[in-house]
């Protein structure tokens, strides 16, 4: 995207950040060999997780994250093959997978593919088994109204089990729909706009937002969204949950 006079919509504040594709900076990682990655959320900004885009060229292969870290990825473009143990899954756009910490796996791209990846250090629950790997297809899932509002439909991509220390959802707003109130909570969010846009309130600022934008919401960042436009606005949103705030 062309820019003039050094302008950007990117914002970085104490309790939130907004990063659009126009300010992406590609970098490299040892476990994503030959694969440009763009970190949009990282501990350096105060987050307790990472969110990044992986631009996989044809024939690339990604390795697992650091020991103790779990990984979620969602296919934005192209198709990848995920191998976990003896099983290989083919994941096309909107396919996704959760790999528990210390799960050996490989992600291969036959052609070009683009992923969004979330990673965090797993917080085990004493007495509970860690979660199992989980693979799904967002396109094939049935959405349910959020808090009774049929203008705001929700897909929960991960099983609702206490062994999971985070959730990843897709929220789909009809034109004109909004969050019912300004949320303020200790949990963090990493959010990617998949389609459409609107106005996002973060703390005391209101931002125009659109497809491709990423938002970090830190603990207690007041948050609200209203969809504007003729089409639906849809976002993928991570949240830490199922853990006491003393440890999460
Ligand atoms: O689950 C959530 O906290 C979600 N409703 N937050 C958000 O969309 N900003
Ligand atoms: Mn929230």
Task: Give the domain 142-240 fold.
Answer: Jelly Rolls (2.60.120)
Listed residue (132, 133, 48) closest to 96, CA to CA: 133
CA torsion angle 55 25 222 145 (round to 10): -20
- Looking from the CA of 162 toward its CB, the CA atoms found within 13 Å total 7
If one residue of 144, 179, 240 were mutated to test the ligand 1 pocket, choosing by the most ligand atoms within 8 A of its CB, it would be: 179
pLDDT of residue 2: 62
161-202 pLDDT, tens digit each: 999 999 999 999 999 999 999 999 999 999 999 999 999 999
pTM, entire model: 0.97
pLDDT of residue 1: 56
239 lines ligand 1 (CB under 6 A): yes
If one residue of 239, 240, 241 were mutated to test the ligand 1 pocket, choosing by the most ligand atoms within 8 A of its CB, it would be: 239
Fold: same for 24-124+133-138 and 142-240: yes
83-101 pLDDT, tens digit each: 999 999 999 999 999 999 9
* Domain 24-124+133-138 indexed as CATH 2.40.50.100: no
In contact, 143 and 126? CB cutoff 8 Å: no
Q: Residue 29: CB partners within 8 Å, gap ≥ 6? A: 35, 37
pLDDT of residue 8: 94
Beta strands in 138-213 (DSSP E): 144-146, 149-156, 166-173, 189-195, 197-202, 205-210
| Cα 232 to middle of ligand 2, angstroms | 19
Say whether 45 sits in a helix, a strand or coil.
helix
**3 band by pLDDT with thresholds 50, 70 and 90:** low
Backbone φ and ψ for 139, nearest 5 degrees, come out as -60, -35
Domain residues of the chain, as ranges? 24-124+133-138, 142-240
Q: Which atom of ligand 1 is nearest to the CA of 146?
A: 5
149 lines ligand 1 (CB under 6 A): no
108-160 pLDDT, tens digit each: 998 999 999 999 999 999 999 999 999 999 999 999 999 999 999 999 999 99
101-114 pLDDT, tens digit each: 999 999 999 899 99
Distance CA 233, CA 63 (A): 33
45 lines ligand 1 (CB under 6 A): no
Q: Which atom of ligand 1 is nearest to the CA of 235?
A: 8
């Amino acid at each position: 995207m062309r820019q003039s006079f050094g302008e950007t919509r990117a914002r970085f504040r104490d309790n939130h950040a907004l990063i659009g594709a126009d300010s992406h900076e590609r970098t490299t990682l040892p476990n994503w060999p030959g694969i440009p990655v763009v970190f949009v959320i990282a501990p350096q900004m105060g987050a307790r997780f990472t969110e990044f885009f992986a631009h996989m060229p044809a024939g690339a292969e990604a390795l697992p994250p650091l020991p103790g870290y779990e990984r979620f990825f969602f296919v934005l473009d192209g198709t990848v093959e995920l191998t976990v143990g003896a099983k290989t899954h083919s994941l096309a756009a909107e396919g996704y997978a959760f790999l528990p910490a210390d799960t050996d796996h490989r992600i291969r791209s036959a052609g070009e593919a683009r992923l969004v990846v979330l990673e965090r250090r797993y917080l085990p629950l004493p007495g509970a088994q860690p979660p199992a790997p989980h693979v799904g297809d967002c396109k094939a899932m049935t959405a349910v109204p959020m808090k009774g509002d049929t203008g705001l439909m929700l897909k929960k991509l991960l099983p609702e089990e206490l062994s999971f220390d985070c959730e990843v959802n897709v929220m789909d707003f009809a034109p004109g729909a909004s969050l019912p109130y300004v949320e303020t909570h200790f949990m963090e969010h990493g959010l990617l706009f998949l389609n459409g846009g609107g106005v996002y309130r973060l703390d005391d600022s209101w931002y125009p937002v659109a497809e491709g934008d990423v938002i970090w919401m830190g603990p207690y960042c007041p948050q609200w969204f209203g969809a504007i436009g003729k089409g639906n606005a849809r976002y993928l949103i991570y949240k830490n949950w199922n853990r006491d705030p003393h440890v999460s």
